Structure 1
């Protein structure tokens, strides 16, 4: 039986993930992290059918000291997540990262700590199956089409840019083939910033507007033709829940850091 602790347990995604873990026969939800609900019972907050207290804590240190768990699932904010992840790994816990905004440098440090403590980390910019497929299709296209850019869509209130989904996609595509530019960014006439940000050698454009939940569009172009791969998330957290449960079930199958849900899936 896997004992799981959720950081961000009362948030939009974390609350649905907590419910799913609680209702899974192969898992035990032992507690959660919530700055605003410290000391309260997660069972009561989420209306879980349990007579047991599932405690909420304001810090990962308090949680590690007071509850037993094998796996940390983190859906918080980047600065909080780094602190949670480092502390959990140093105690030999396995970690699943759904928090966006962590950088490649952050992941290098996380990988080092995981290896030093002989434990496992799975990080996914997005746990939805449709995103996994978009990443796979985009990697296939990038092998043959050397001209492409990425558009990142999210709600106006999302403070990090690009999203974790797009950051992960840019990282992966850069490993396949970095795109060619017909005009170098520094040679752009006018406002160079309108060409977007260069991330891992790829131009990324982040759009933040009301009406968007989360979306990613990868546009590939060749002379006389183009290919557009696009994913849009709805308002439900259900797609992420399924992916996180899959990650929990497979976190014991490797050591070190893996990035992308597909790293534990068969295609």
Structure 2
């Protein structure tokens, strides 16, 4: 199936990888690139592929109005992603969302809009297949080891904390365990935030440092033992097989999907 794609956030680090991935697959065709900081420049020159004849535009809505597309891939910022997805759905274009920061209310709103217009949407907090497996394994482990904490680490330019992957992992774990009080009942934080954020009765810790890409470990503790489930993305190309899969799968959908695991065969 031939699929025409717009990339929003095309000159960001993830967006550039997406453009390269599209150009490596004959059935995918780049028809639009959105980058407010590079308007009028050829996206091919920016990503090192030579001229592709696709000039960067200033906004998603402008691009939707000027090209015919099947899919919008969004790797922008939390404050813009919901509006971009709404604009795509209303234009009959299927969003594939990799930008984290969507709230539960945002997800409900986009899910309703997708059902109303019968448009497929995939929102994946993490497109790395290994990360999806990590979340699945963590959810299974929570059935037997309910004492757990999550440590996620990303590059220092990431805008949201905790990461969408950590939030999704916590939601999956929470479905498989009763909420319990972990740690000493009289525990006190001598410095605010020392124990991390609380979600569903357990802690999430966020690390932001240069040199990192995307990393997460889920640590379970029980009598005389610990279990650590860890995933590391050491290069952004690790996300591209999942992005490609989502672009192909979203063409078959007419509803909203939250999490790449829901289009994989587990």
TM-score by length of 1: 0.92
In 1, the alpha carbon distance for the partners of 2:227 and 2:76 equals 34
Tell me what 2:66 maps to: 66
The Cα of 1:44 is off from its aligned counterpart by: 2.9
Tell me what 2:229 maps to: 229
Contact kept in structure 2, 1:32 and 1:54, CA below 8 Å: yes
Unaligned residue ranges in structure 2 (runs of 5+): none
The Cα of 1:252 is off from its aligned counterpart by: 2.3
In 2, the alpha carbon distance for the partners of 1:263 and 1:81 equals 21
The Cα of 1:62 is off from its aligned counterpart by: 0.5
From the superposition, tell whether residues 81 and 228 of structure 1 become closer, same or farther in structure 2 (CA, over 3 Å). same
In the TM superposition, 1:179-258 aligns within 5 A as 179-183=179-183, 188-191=187-190, 193-234=193-234, 236-258=235-257
Range moving further from structure 2, 36-45 or 12-21: 36-45
From the superposition, tell whether residues 43 and 190 of structure 1 become closer, same or farther in structure 2 (CA, over 3 Å). closer
In 2, the alpha carbon distance for the partners of 1:20 and 1:97 equals 16
In 1, the alpha carbon distance for the partners of 2:182 and 2:23 equals 53
Tell me what 1:31 maps to: 32
Contact kept in structure 2, 1:30 and 1:55, CA below 8 Å: no
Tell me what 1:42 maps to: 43
Kindly provide the CA deviation profile for residues 124-177 of structure 1, in whole angstroms up to 9, marking residues without a partner as x: 111111101101110110111111111111123323101122122122222222
Contact kept in structure 2, 1:101 and 1:162, CA below 8 Å: no
Tell me what 2:84 maps to: 84
State the aligned residue count: 264
The Cα of 1:71 is off from its aligned counterpart by: 0.4
TM-score by length of 2: 0.92
Contact kept in structure 2, 1:97 and 1:124, CA below 8 Å: yes
Contact kept in structure 2, 1:174 and 1:202, CA below 8 Å: no
Unaligned residue ranges in structure 1 (runs of 5+): none
The Cα of 1:48 is off from its aligned counterpart by: 3.2
In the TM superposition, 1:112-127 aligns within 5 A as 112-127=112-127
Superposition RMSD in Å: 1.9
In 1, the alpha carbon distance for the partners of 2:71 and 2:81 equals 14
